[in-house]
Amino acid sequence: MTNPGHRQPWLHDLEIAVDGPATVVADRAGGFDAPGTGLLVDDRRILSRHLLTLDAEAPVTVQVATTGNRSQIWACARNLGNDGPDPTVEVHLDRRLDGLTLTQRVTLVSRADGDVGTRLCVRVAGDGADVATIKGGREGGELLPARSITGGVEWTDERHRTRLTTRPAPDRCVAGSSAEPTAFEFDVTLSHGVPLEIEVRVEVERLARSQFDAGAGAGSVDWDGIAVEAGDRRLADLVTTSLTDLRHLLLTDPQAPEDVFAAAGTPWYLTLFGRDSMWAARFMLPFDTTLAHGTLRTLARRQGRRVDAAAAEEPGKILHEVRRGAFLDFGGGLSTPATYYGTVDATPLWVILLHDAWRWGLADDDVRELLPAMIAAMDWIRSAAENDLGVLRYVDDTGHGLSNQGWKDSGDSMRFADGRISDAPIALLEAQTYAVEAARGAAVLLEAFGAGDGQPWRDWAQAMTARIRAHFWVERAGQRYLAMGLDGGGDPIDGIGSNMGHALGSGALTDAEAQSVVATLMSPNLLGEFGISTLSRDNTAYNPIGYHTGSVWTHDTAIALLGMVKEGLSREAARVALGLVAAAVPFGYRTPELFAGDAIGHRPAPYPASCRPQAWAAAAAAAVVTGVLGISADVPMGRLTLRPMRPSPFGPVRVDGLRWAGRPFSVTLSADGTATVSGLPGEVIVDIH
């Protein structure tokens, strides 16, 4: 039975704002009291308590809006003002994160008949808890004692100094202890219709550096020109909200602040994750190569150089994640060093991202600089596949690393058709198809830049394609489909899952095979109202709210959508796109990392512990737009291709802020799918199919 004192906090009904390395997790009233709430900076909780009261009673929240780095709350003080059903004293909280600074403006407005006097009290404290402790549900430590300073208080943890001040100064300030929070008290009188504002400012200073104290990266990208208009305005609202969230998830590399990448998600994964960060950058390529360039360089800078079994590091390998220190997942058995390489797919994804970024106009000099890292990555791929089956596979030899090292990295994700969990070493289907795509992309880049003969890599890709065809196709109960992977004995893991969607568009499938994969993905056992489930509904292990055993992951469904478009199956992709957009609406267009595979009353049910925002979920909005337009670029060849969905599933669509080698252009799509392009250089060839 789960220890109620050690339960991971649920996030689905909390408000989360983020900017770079800082996150605010609060209840709907803006308070920090529920498990998991607080202000976190560099994976350390700076504020663990925050409670606002008027005459010792908390206001009642009416509505909340949170996007990116800002939360706005409209509440009412029901204990103040006129008697009767209508609230007459409003309490507005406007909370904004700017890097290491949190500004909170409390505005009181009275609609009561006469003056209203009240005592406003803000109680605050910090405990310095590490994010792993909070995620593990092991809260309740002592508070950090506060010291009085001019205009407020301050306290310190092992790595930070936190200073809190107010404007105006409070009438009373009682500095907190290890057992009691600091109290700021204001005696106020509210006149009818006259706003009264109090500002609380929290400023954090880093005292000791960790190995990965990244900066906020929102200002490093130019996305202001990106805009979507559609007959179905849900698409525009999703793009606006998602790109705002993604922008505030951006971090800068502490070793090279000019390089920006997307942190995986908040509050648990606010750092560099190879796979997550690359998928977010890849989704954004039609709009910007800056994110891809920064992500590629940041990962290349930390590419494996030696053999280190504890960190799963090998020469040429791209990392899984970087933490600010060693990571311990309480209750999960996971214990990894600060830089951990336990991933089988990040290395081919890095090569794919480099190739695709070049196609979208990443400068030749920038690509050329990264070619040595690409060659090292391809050497790792070739070496990793030198086994009896000739495939990429993984096993955790440490006993405390990730037992599964693809994107479905929970221990119970790889299931046979009868629900059994596969043993290791495991060869994932998608890792092999990524390797095929990477090898062909590397061949093109080697030859384009005079860095070598690409034919051996084309031959290697062809041989890998043959191995996929020989080992991964399953015949069961009259159905032919792609297995999730191969188990420790080389037998197919024959549970039906969403993994096969990643094979689409990779070049590893024939047209007939791609059609077969899409037919399986579109079957009722996988495709629900809002997306593709990670595991088939007829599997005995299916759990609609299981992490990788039936839930729907936004990015996973978006990858399949793009693959369908690449395979020329846009009609099926349109249905998937409509589901993803519909799923976002009940979440306020902040599509979470994942949600339940089964809906309730035509509404997606949240996965309660899901991060929100999550980079690849937010960037999936760009993938939906890319799929609707069917857009691809080949800047080196001077050719733009459009294969739009016909008819357009969202009615007339106009997309501004697309980029051709950094130059903005626009695409307009009529309701019937007729496309026009404007803003491109005259010499660019535009193919519309």
Average pLDDT, the chain: 96
Taking 80 as the threshold, does the pLDDT of residue 348 lie above it?
A: yes
Task: Give the pLDDT of residue 4.
Answer: 61
DSSP SS3 for 184: strand
Task: Give the pLDDT of residue 165.
Answer: 98
Binning pLDDT at 50, 70 and 90, where does residue 330 land? low
| Cα–Cα distance, 571 to 343 (Å, whole number) | 34
Residue 681 falls inside a structural domain: no
Same domain, 198 and 229: no
Domain ranges, residue 71: 4-206
Binning pLDDT at 50, 70 and 90, where does residue 331 land? low
Task: Give the pLDDT of residue 334.
Answer: 87
DSSP SS3 for 579: helix
With beta carbons less than 8 A apart as the criterion, state whether 630 and 645 touch.
yes
Taking 70 as the threshold, does the pLDDT of residue 541 lie above it?
A: yes
Q: pTM of the prediction?
A: 0.97
Region of poorest pLDDT, from 183-187, 397-401, 403-407, 667-671: 397-401
Same domain, 197 and 228: no
CA distances from 114 to 24, 111, 187, 191 (A): 36, 8, 17, 7
CB 475: neighbour CB atoms within 10 A?
A: 10
Residue 677 falls inside a structural domain: no
Q: What angle do CA 100, 103, 109 make, to 5 degrees?
A: 170
pLDDT digits (tens, 9 = 90+) for 412-437: 999 999 999 999 999 999 999 999 99
Q: Which of 206, 239, 262 is the last residue of a domain?
A: 206
Higher model confidence: residue 33 or residue 80? 80
Same domain, 583 and 637: yes
Same domain, 161 and 224: no
Task: Give the pLDDT of residue 516.
Answer: 98
Q: Which of 206, 241, 275 is the last residue of a domain?
A: 206
Give the whole-number percent of the chain exceeding pLDDT 90: 95
Region of poorest pLDDT, from 126-140, 215-229, 263-277, 440-454: 126-140
Same domain, 353 and 478: yes
**Cα–Cα nearest to 131, from 201, 48, 57:** 48
CB 513: neighbour CB atoms within 10 A?
A: 19
Same domain, 185 and 309: no
Taking 70 as the threshold, does the pLDDT of residue 332 lie above it?
A: no
Same domain, 69 and 90: yes
Residue 244 falls inside a structural domain: yes
Residue 560 falls inside a structural domain: yes
Taking 80 as the threshold, does the pLDDT of residue 3 lie above it?
A: no
Residue 688 falls inside a structural domain: no
Taking 70 as the threshold, does the pLDDT of residue 673 lie above it?
A: yes
Residue 11 falls inside a structural domain: yes
pLDDT digits (tens, 9 = 90+) for 129-150: 999 999 998 887 899 999 999 9
Same domain, 31 and 78: yes
Same domain, 313 and 451: yes
Taking 70 as the threshold, does the pLDDT of residue 679 lie above it?
A: yes
Same domain, 299 and 181: no
End-to-end CA distance of the chain: 58
Residue 92 falls inside a structural domain: yes
Domain harbouring 344, CATH code: 1.50.10.10
Q: Which of 162, 183, 206 is the last residue of a domain?
A: 206
CB 488: neighbour CB atoms within 10 A?
A: 13
- Whether a cis peptide bond, with omega within 30° of 0, leads into 606 is no
Q: In sequence order, what DSSP letters do the residues of 111-132 get, joined into one string? A: -SSS-EEEEEEEEEE----BHH
Same domain, 82 and 201: yes
pLDDT digits (tens, 9 = 90+) for 581-616: 999 999 999 999 999 999 999 999 999 999 999 999
Structure tokens at 644: 């739009």
Binning pLDDT at 50, 70 and 90, where does residue 5 land? low
**193-214 mean pLDDT:** 95
**Cα–Cα nearest to 535, from 554, 548, 520:** 548
CA distances from 598 to 106, 417, 529, 603 (A): 40, 20, 8, 9
Task: Give the pLDDT of residue 493.
Answer: 98
Taking 70 as the threshold, does the pLDDT of residue 1 lie above it?
A: no
Task: Give the pLDDT of residue 210.
Answer: 85
What total of structural domains would you count in the chain? 2
With beta carbons less than 8 A apart as the criterion, state whether 423 and 487 touch.
yes
Same domain, 515 and 382: yes
